[in-house]
Amino acid sequence: MTAPVRWGVGSVAGINAATVPAILASETAELAGLASRDPERARRAAEEWGGVGYAGYDALLSDTRVEAVYVPTPNAQHAEWVHRAIGAGKHVLCEKPLAVTAEEARALVAAAEDAGVLLSEAFMYLHHPRYTRLRELFTEGAIGELRGIHVVFTFDASDELEHSGFQGAPGSGAIYDVGCYAVHVARTLTGAEPEAVTAHAAVSEPHGGIDMSTALLLEFPGGVAATAQLGMWSADLDTVMVIGSRGRIEVPSAFLRGPDDHVLLLTDADGTRRIETPRADHYERQIARFDAAVRGEAELLLPPDDAVRQAEVLDAATLSWRERRRVELSAR
């Protein structure tokens, strides 16, 4: 049996509630420890999860036992800590978005290539077998030709004014927090890159002047469009609808865990039928796939170049809502 990959986690924040258990549950992974700038928080995290409680990120990066690092810090800090992890010779799985700008993303991808380490953006949803089945249905022509995609990803954290995402730092707001999922799933399902982006946002000054609710339009080649409603002060919902010339496929609980997170709803001329796929922990599958890539047994599901193309679209969407105009990506 291949030795498990030893993971260090660069935070003790709540976002680890899914990924750390996935590391612990995976036969391919081992938790070396978690880091915090607060030594006491690091100690408590180690007591809860196991491994070492690193007093500071540098302590984690200097531990030669650590092979891979998961970076779940606030978005504005991703580029710094990913770059430092790469410099320490660690493979890196970074929480989305990899970087706040495409320029940052390109620099990180180049650094990883130069260092000979793996780098991937943590879009866990795509590791679920449901998305494999969804793409098979496309190939089989179950809904005819693709006409459009609509995504809703909203939640309400408007009363959490101390949240790190509400301080106005780069990478804050609905586009980066949940819009990145909408952009990614649209790029994945179309197999193409958008030619233009238009975004309209509701901005909240009490929340740091960020986009709290955003409507997004992505124009793809061939007249295909993807639309999205994104929000950080709206009722909870995450769903994807794929519309074809002869039917549609709905994906409930499209990104997060839920009672129907293994289900697809296919509607065509014969009505609506429920297609069930294997239940799976997509966080654990993400870790297992990354571990296999570290051991040379598989390719990354999401290569680093994908994160650069993703960042280019997020750049355009942010420019669009700030300047209230349509942005052509080819013109940037």
* Active site members: 96
Rg (CA), the chain: 20
What is the distance between the alpha carbons of residues 12 and 50, in angstroms, rounded to a whole number?
12
**Cβ within 8 Å of residue 48, ≥6 positions away:** none
What is the distance between the alpha carbons of residues 75 and 317, in angstroms, rounded to a whole number?
16
Q: Return the residue matching tokens 């081992």.
A: 30
What is the distance between the alpha carbons of residues 26 and 87, in angstroms, rounded to a whole number?
27
How far lies 103's CA from each of 99, 189, 311, 312, in Å?
Answer: 8, 25, 8, 9
In 220-321, DSSP assigns E strands to 225-231, 233-244, 248-252, 263-268, 271-276
What is the distance between the alpha carbons of residues 51 and 33, in angstroms, rounded to a whole number?
4
Residue type, 244: G
Residue type, 49: W
